Amino acid sequence: MKSIAHPRRDSLVYEIRDIVRTAQALEKVGKTIIYENIGDPINRGHLPPDFLQEVLSKHLQDPRSFGYGPTQGILETRQYLCETRNREAGVSLQVDDILFFNGLGDAISTVYKALSSETRVLLPAPVYPSYYALEEFHSGRKPVQYLLKAHQNWSLPLEEIDELLSQHPDLGAILLVNPDNPTGKIHDASSLKGIVELCKKHNVLLIVDEIYNEVCFPTKSCESIASHVEDLPCLSLRGLSKSVPWPGARCGWIEFYNCDSSCELQELKFTLQQLKSMEVCATTLPQRILPELCEHSQYSQNLKNQSELYAKRAREARVTLTKYPFVRVNEPEASLYLSLSLPWQEEVGPMPPLESESKEILMPLWEKAPIDKKLSLYLLASTGVCAVPMNSFHHPTPGLRITLLEPDDEKFQKMLQALGEGISRFMNHYGLQDIDPLEQMPDSDFQYRKLQKSRSAV
């Protein structure tokens, strides 16, 4: 039979899920795994909030909850979102400017289906793996990325973005993730205005992933791009999964700004609507209950409770992990993740001592893996902590991302200690130097690409 799979299938790498296969193989030989790889509160022992179950029970009595909805989304829900955004940001979003999807992952992949084959999207580094994989799958080339300024709390490198847009005329859009994943950085009003001005200057579309917009730590807040977009064509990607939280709802949507002033955005919106119509519609039930959920008297308090827990866990992680050599904690301002930076090394030697069964499982993945992937595999086998390497977020400085979801104080402390001790054992085994990883950061796009090439995993 002739080959029928897509020739760029190898670009579809999603380490956040892929590492689970290794974890499950280790479980079969007796390892207990702590799954820190994915942001699912329910799987980490959080109960669905009472008000969610209350609203769900009510709507399950309504037969309409079981039927198809309109392709664009439930009209009343789109009206609610328009009124909310217009009140918050002083814009004039219309119901036809909102399109629902089966979660944000569906929205992202459908956007790439709708883009012309010549159009490329400028991505941040680090970046959520789905964006990188779909950009490479779509274009057939390594994505072009701008490097968030780790030295300056992961701020936007506006000058570099300007240069990259000038150097690459095939870039038709810029992606901004705000708050950022995996760093938890909130980009401030000045940064948002700056990137809007650059998009205007280079006549490109702005795409903003705002899925964590409401999950900000106490004393922090995140302004929506709607407050700064002015007359710029823009897509805002939002969803329900992180703020309720209800990840299994698979309820996401796109808000289209300034379609009337952009023929290109009108064409993209029409294409997305047609693609969605091929599936008939997105999931009905979460759309139907969304307005009632967001207006429920317990909604804001539930958000506050979540954010306070995540902020508390971030503080605890900083206090505990900074006691260990080699570990640099990148303290977040939002979201439910924490990233760590580690000293960068070109290469390390053979695998550290592990039980033979574990070594056998890890060996096929080990040889050509970058150092932080090797570290994540070693931690998985030696401590049971399942963390995602920063290489999977396509950033040149090695590190790890963990979640802030553990509800039990004692278990979280034990996990942090296991993580710190495991990292120290790994680094000491190879005799690596405890150098500040930020001092090793590339200071130019050229150096970054050189590091990318040298550290690319097979």
CA distance 237 to 100: 10
The identity of residue 380, as a single letter, is L
One digit per residue, the tens of pLDDT, for the chain of length 458 reads 877 788 788 787 777 888 899 999 999 999 999 999 888 898 888 989 999 999 999 999 999 999 999 999 999 999 999 999 999 999 989 999 999 999 999 999 999 999 998 999 999 999 999 999 999 999 999 999 999 988 788 999 999 999 999 999 999 999 999 999 999 999 999 999 999 999 999 999 999 999 999 999 999 999 999 999 999 999 999 999 888 888 888 999 999 999 888 889 999 999 999 999 999 999 999 999 999 999 999 999 999 999 999 999 999 999 999 999 888 899 899 999 999 988 877 678 889 999 999 999 999 999 888 889 999 999 999 999 999 999 999 988 889 999 999 999 999 999 999 999 999 999 998 887 777 665 655 554 445 555 445 444 33
- 9-46+300-455 — its CATH code? 3.90.1150.10
Note whether 451 and 396 are within 8 A (CB).
Answer: yes
Structure pTM? 0.92
Integer Cα distance of 339 and 238 in angstroms? 23
Residue with tokens 């200690």: 417
CB-based contacts of 155, cutoff 8 Å, min separation 6: 148, 149, 185, 187, 191
End-to-end Cα distance, the chain: 27
Q: What is the pLDDT of residue 2?
A: 77
Does residue 234 contact residue 206 with C-beta atoms inside 8 Å? yes
Which residues is 208 bridged to in the sheet? Answer: 176, 236
- Please, what's the b/e burial string for 83-106 (b: 16 or more CB within 10 A of its CB; e: otherwise)? eebeeebebebebebbbbbbbbbb
Tell me if residue 368 falls in helix, strand or coil: coil
- How far is C-alpha 372 from the chain's CA centre? 18
Please enumerate in sequence order all residues whose Cβ is within 8 A of that of 87, keeping only pairs 6 or more positions apart, or say none.
Answer: none
Q: Which two tokens stand for residue 102?
A: 């089966």
DSSP state of 286: H
Domain boundaries, the chain: 9-46+300-455, 68-294
Q: How far apart are CA 126 and CA 132, in angstroms?
A: 10
DSSP 150: G
Q: What is 68-294's CATH number? A: 3.40.640.10
- Tally Cβ neighbours within 10 Å of residue 436: 10
